[in-house]
Amino acid sequence: MSETSPKLRAELDGVPTYKPGRPAASGGPLAYKLSSNENPYPPLPGVMERAVSAAGVFNRYPDMACTGLVNELADRFGVPVSHLATGTGSVGVAQQLLQATAGPGDEVVYPWRSFEAYPIITQISGATSVKVPLTADETHDLDAMAGAITERTRLIFVCNPNNPTGTVVRRGELERFLDRVPSDVLVVLDEAYREFIRDAEVPDGIEIYRDRPNVAVLRTFSKAYGLAGLRVGFAIAHEPVAAALRKTAVPFGVSQIAQEAAIASLRAEDELLGRVGSLVGERARVYGALVDQGWTVPGTQANFVWLRLGGRTLDFAAACEAAGVVVRPFAGEGVRVTIGECEANDLFLRAAEAFRKEL
């Protein structure tokens, strides 16, 4: 038997591993998971019912074209059906975008720190990441991002609001940036947290994309709609891009259960957005309390807050865990804390206050 292992693509060497938010420990004292930006509310009964009924036919493949869901989305957002593409969560669609646009020798520009899947899916595609550091106030440095564009650039991510900082890009600066991007470079507006935005100056990407053929909008059912475990996201883009996303999708990637639950969620939008409203209220409470405690917290328009703790990051995360909340540390940089149930937020605030007093 030969000792040689099968040849694997060299691009895979050193691909960073995606670190999922740690679950809350089971069996021990009460613990809350504030590490994955999930929606703390359980599925709505109507959504659950429709998903369960779809489960009754899971011996069959799902509708590969997601016809029902795509029709519903086209209606909801006032876009042609041909401008929609679905995938296994918006991270799946982001990977489809990479596959459709970039390969070895190409460059992908994005802010950093931002969503941790960007470097992973870029490296897997064979393209090169061009990470543009956030400004001192934790926002996209759009000037530097425009300056980083070369003739090799194929795709640019704008994460609005940005994960993990919660900061936003506003209308004027985004329009000015887009005016500087060559028309053959695709700009992806990743709006995973769109429904949590209350700042009227933050544009809806779907309005921006309409007269810009090189802009695609990424959305997900994982956050505001509470379907993280079902894996369904979508992009809205002009036809050549959307068609390329349909080509690069994993066939039958979105289960019928996910499709039906997504349709039911769109129909229950008022109720779901009411829940988002409560979380936005909690966000204001948590933010205000942290500021009162003396923390510097970037203004957040997402369902999480960011504390830049530098060298104290892991100690802070451990202190939170001891207090009953699991947060998401980025070692040496900071901690991202999801806005969760009131009790979870209270536990977090108490831990933050105690930690602050020790400093």
Ligand X SMILES: Cc1ncc(COP(=O)(O)O)c(C=O)c1O
Q: What is the rounded distance in angstroms from the CA atom of residue 283 to the CA atom of residue 40?
A: 13
Q: Which is nearer to ligand X, 261 or 289 (CB)?
A: 261
Q: What is the rounded distance in angstroms from the CA atom of residue 246 to the CA atom of residue 100?
A: 10
Output the smallest distance, CB 235 to ligand X, in A.
11
Q: Which is nearer to ligand X, 92 or 355 (CB)?
A: 92
Output the smallest distance, CB 161 to ligand X, in A.
8
Q: What is the rounded distance in angstroms from the CA atom of residue 115 to the CA atom of residue 294?
A: 27
Cα dihedral sign for 187, 138, 166, 98?
positive
- Tell me the three-class secondary structure of 277-314, residue by residue: HHHHHHHHHHHHHHHHHCCCCCCCCCCEEEECCHHHHH
Q: Which is nearer to ligand X, 257 or 289 (CB)?
A: 257
One residue of 74, 144, 148, 228 binding ligand X per CB under 6 A: 228
Q: What phi and psi, each to the nearest 5 degrees, are found at residue 299?
A: -55, 130
Q: Which is nearer to ligand X, 252 or 322 (CB)?
A: 252
Binding of residue 62 to ligand X (CB under 6 A): no
Cα dihedral sign for 210, 214, 215, 218?
positive
One residue of 101, 125, 163, 300 binding ligand X per CB under 6 A: 163
**259-298: contacts with ligand X (CB under 6 A):** none
Binding of residue 159 to ligand X (CB under 6 A): yes
Q: What is the rounded distance in angstroms from the CA atom of residue 226 to the CA atom of residue 261?
A: 10
Q: What is the rounded distance in angstroms from the CA atom of residue 73 to the CA atom of residue 225?
A: 14
Output the smallest distance, CB 97 to ligand X, in A.
11
Q: Which is nearer to ligand X, 159 or 335 (CB)?
A: 159
Q: Omega of the bond prior to 6 within 30 degrees of 0, cis? A: no
Structure tokens at 355: 């930690």
**67-126: contacts with ligand X (CB under 6 A):** 89-91, 115
Binding of residue 160 to ligand X (CB under 6 A): no
Binding of residue 220 to ligand X (CB under 6 A): yes
Residues contacting ligand X: total by CB under 6 A:
13
Output the smallest distance, CB 254 to ligand X, in A.
11
Output the smallest distance, CB 111 to ligand X, in A.
11
Q: Which is nearer to ligand X, 289 or 335 (CB)?
A: 335
Q: What is the rounded distance in angstroms from the CA atom of residue 65 to the CA atom of residue 87?
A: 10
Output the smallest distance, CB 197 to ligand X, in A.
13
Q: Which is nearer to ligand X, 340 or 355 (CB)?
A: 340
Q: Which is nearer to ligand X, 115 or 209 (CB)?
A: 115
Output the smallest distance, CB 354 to ligand X, in A.
28
**Which is nearest to 43 in space by CA: 198, 325, 236, 261?**
261
x/- site string to ligand X, residues 11 to 40, per CB under 6 A? Answer: --------------------------x---
**177-206: contacts with ligand X (CB under 6 A):** 190, 192
Binding of residue 301 to ligand X (CB under 6 A): no
One residue of 122, 167, 222, 301 binding ligand X per CB under 6 A: 222
List the beta bridge partners of residue 129.
108
Structure tokens at 10: 């060299």
Helices 45-55 + 256-267 axis angle, to 10: 160
Q: What phi and psi, each to the nearest 5 degrees, are found at residue 253?
A: -65, -35
One residue of 43, 111, 119, 233 binding ligand X per CB under 6 A: 233
Q: Report the alpha-carbon angle 269-274-275, nearest 5.
A: 100
Residue nearest ligand X (C-beta atom): 89
- The footprint of ligand X (CB under 6 A) covers 37, 89-91, 115, 159, 163, 190, 192, 220, 222, 228, 233
